[in-house]
Structure 1
């Protein structure tokens, strides 16, 4: 396999990104790869926000992974800055070969570069394999999350 390259996502990457978002039991219920218009609008919002980074992992000119990194300035923890890792997806053909680790390590290093004091993420309660993966990388299941659909 050729070397992996992590770079900012481009609008042309959206079909591949959305396909990965939809390629699991949860994503299949909530994503719509046949209609990219809401993703295009979201991509434009992300691209214009300096605290958002949507990146892709590319191998052999193919998008094989993605994640979103959000930087959040805050007052808690003595005015510390946090980052949130969201939307981590790996193409089915690449799973189990270390790409997820490389993407998370990239996000942690980028967080350090931006003087972030705490990196956090959430994972659906049903994703037990993902929980083991994040724990292996040093994350701790420390909070209970709550959501409200609007």
Structure 2
């Protein structure tokens, strides 16, 4: 079942983020979840089966000024290592696509680190096209 995350999911979300390569979120995860749940253009979703959270999907709708539609950004997307290859990712990606269409978005964007080769294959299989330039400016 796909549902909105809650504060009560913080421990499981932190565990999934650790699998994604973001350890040590326990000290601030509840604050971040609260912030995302209150943000009007953000969605924080989990995939739950038998009262266990198996996946996390964080989405943001971003309005554009030069084009008619907004775009949907996948900010974080992780399926528990023990639950991969069970089509949970496919189900969540389809859900994200539905949300994007519902919100009149003209595309979905996702930044996926170069080291995540399995994720690259997943996105390509679902119709995503690589756009190789991505710049960041670290502030901390």
* Structures share fold, TM-score greater than 0.5: yes
1:111-126 correspondence runs (5 A): 111-126=100-115
Aligned length: 139
Cα deviation, residue 79, structure 1: 3.2
Cα deviation, residue 38, structure 1: 1.3
Cα deviation, residue 118, structure 1: 1.1
Unmatched runs of 5 consecutive residues or more in structure 1: none
State the match for 1:72 in structure 2. Answer: 62
The TM-score with structure 2 as length reference comes to 0.93
Q: Structure 1: how far apart are the matches of 2:86 and 2:37? A: 29
Q: Structure 1: how far apart are the matches of 2:132 and 2:97? A: 19
State the match for 2:91 in structure 1. Answer: 102
**Is 1:19 aligned to 2:15, yes or no?**
yes
Q: Structure 2: how far apart are the matches of 1:128 and 1:146? A: 20
Q: Structure 2: how far apart are the matches of 1:21 and 1:85? A: 14
State the match for 1:147 in structure 2. Answer: 136
Q: Secondary structure at the match of 2:105?
A: coil
Q: Show structure 1 runs of 4+ deviating over 6 A.
A: none
State the match for 1:31 in structure 2. Answer: 23
Unmatched runs of 5 consecutive residues or more in structure 2: none
Q: Secondary structure at the match of 1:106?
A: helix
State the match for 2:47 in structure 1. Answer: 57
